[in-house]
């Protein structure tokens, strides 16, 4: 019986067409799938490492970065992207804490244009309290860290996040440190930051009808918890022009705790907390 095929159907060689080797095709597809899965796995490696360390250290980002251990227990307020404890008598935050992820160091949101008073925070000043005072409305959590979310950007301009700050500091050394923090967050996957004012008995100046206290200095403490060997560092700046190099203002976290009466990074296991808070190296932090 003729199948309707002649020599011309086979091409010029006169040989029958090759049969498709489905076995080799299936093997090839499997190999490609394994390779793709491996690439995806590698891209998720840093995120998985962060999750493993979070479980190991019992660290809950943004929820237990700082604990007050002396003095009055201040009310804590949660905002999008950060949280703070507020001193109702001084009308400024006691501390503001947030975790800055590498993916949050930039974003599509523009700087919010309006400062606003949170009426749910007792003692929260209005923007008018700072008018003609000679001091900036100094962000403790900076707006440039909140470009990743419209809600976080708006919340960042709440007056509960502000403290009277000398313009020379706000636009100088303080801003320089904020820029460095974003570089360090990108490098280390994420860092935890706590900032706030430092008051001493001689800091009696107040501004505005509300009577907002002007601090004599500011602190920041930073923690890189997701490294193989976690590290931390503190900074103390006078509320004035702060010339010189950034490392001139670097201190241990223990030193900041002494000055503020706060216990930072209490979610870490005691051995890790004691180690990272007792030592600091600006060279390590500023290195690549």
Position 270 scores a pLDDT of 87
Structure token digits, residue 180:
């460095």
Length of the chain: 288
CATH code, residues 59-286: 3.40.570.10
Instruction: Domain ranges for the chain, please list them.
Output: 59-286
pLDDT score recorded for residue 207? 98
User: What pLDDT score does 10 carry?
Assistant: 32
| DSSP per-residue letters across the chain | ---S--GGGG-TT-PPPPPP-HHHHHHHHHHHHHHHHHHHHHHTHHHHHHHHHHHHHT--TTTSSEEE-SS----EEEETTEEEEEETTTTEEEEEEEEEEGGGSS-SPPPP---B--TTSTTPPPGGGGTTSS-EEEESS-GGG-TT-HHHHHHTTBGGGEEEE-HHHHTTHHHHHHHHHHHHHHHHSEEEEEEEEE--TT---EETTTTEEPPSEEEEEEEETTSSS-EEEEEEEESS---S-GGGGEE-HHHHHHHH-EEE-TTS-HHHHHHHHH---HHHHH--
CB contact at 8 A, 223 and 265:
yes
**What pLDDT, on a 0 to 100 scale, did the predictor assign at position 21?**
57
Q: Distance (Å, rounded) from C-alpha 226 to C-alpha 233? A: 15
Query: How far apart, in whole angstroms, are the C-alpha atoms of residue 197 and residue 199?
Result: 6
123 Ramachandran zone, left/alpha/beta (phi>0; psi -120 to 50): left
**CA 85/CA 197 separation, integer angstroms:** 12
Instruction: Tell me phi and psi for residue 273, to 5 degrees.
Output: -60, -45
Q: Which pLDDT tens digits describe the chain residue by residue (288 residues)? A: 333 334 333 344 445 445 555 555 455 545 454 444 443 343 333 444 444 333 333 333 444 567 755 555 788 899 999 999 999 999 999 999 999 999 999 999 999 989 999 999 999 999 999 999 999 999 999 999 999 999 999 999 999 999 999 999 999 999 999 999 999 999 999 999 999 999 999 999 999 999 999 999 999 999 998 899 999 999 999 999 999 899 999 999 999 999 999 999 888 888 989 999 999 999 999 986
Q: Are the C-beta atoms of residues 126 and 104 closer than 8 Å to each other?
A: no
Whole-model pTM? 0.78
Task: Give bridge partners of residue 34 from the DSSP assignment.
Answer: none
Rg, Å, the chain Cα set: 28
The pLDDT assigned to 33 comes to 46
pLDDT of residue 287: 84
């Amino acid at each position: 019986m003729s199948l309707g095929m002649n020599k011309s159907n086979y091409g010029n060689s006169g040989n029958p067409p090759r049969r498709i080797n489905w076995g080799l095709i299936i093997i090839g597809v499997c190999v490609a799938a394994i390779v793709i899965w491996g690439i995806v796995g590698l891209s998720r490696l840093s995120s998985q490492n962060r999750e493993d360390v979070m479980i190991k250290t019992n660290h809950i980002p943004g929820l237990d970065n700082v604990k007050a251990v002396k003095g009055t227990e201040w009310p804590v307020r949660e905002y999008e992207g950060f949280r703070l404890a507020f001193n109702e008598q001084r009308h400024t935050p006691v501390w503001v804490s947030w975790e800055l992820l590498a993916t949050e160091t930039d974003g599509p949101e523009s700087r919010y244009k309006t400062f606003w008073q949170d009426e749910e925070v007792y003692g929260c000043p209005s923007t008018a309290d700072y008018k003609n005072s000679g001091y900036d409305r100094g962000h403790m959590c900076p707006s440039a860290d909140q470009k990743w979310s419209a809600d976080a950007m708006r919340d960042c301009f709440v007056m509960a996040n502000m403290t009277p700050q000398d313009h020379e500091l706000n636009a100088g050394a303080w801003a320089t440190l904020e820029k460095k923090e974003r570089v360090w967050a990108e490098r280390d996957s994420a860092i935890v930051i706590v900032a706030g004012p430092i008051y001493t008995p001689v800091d009696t100046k107040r501004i505005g009808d509300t009577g907002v206290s002007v601090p004599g200095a500011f602190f920041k403490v930073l923690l890189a918890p997701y490294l193989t060997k976690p590290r931390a560092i503190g900074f103390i700046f006078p509320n004035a022009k702060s010339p010189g190099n950034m490392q001139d203002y670097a201190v241990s976290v223990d030193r900041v705790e002494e000055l503020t009466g706060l216990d930072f990074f209490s979610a870490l296991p005691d051995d890790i907390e004691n180690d990272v808070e007792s030592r600091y190296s600006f060279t390590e932090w500023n290195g690549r």
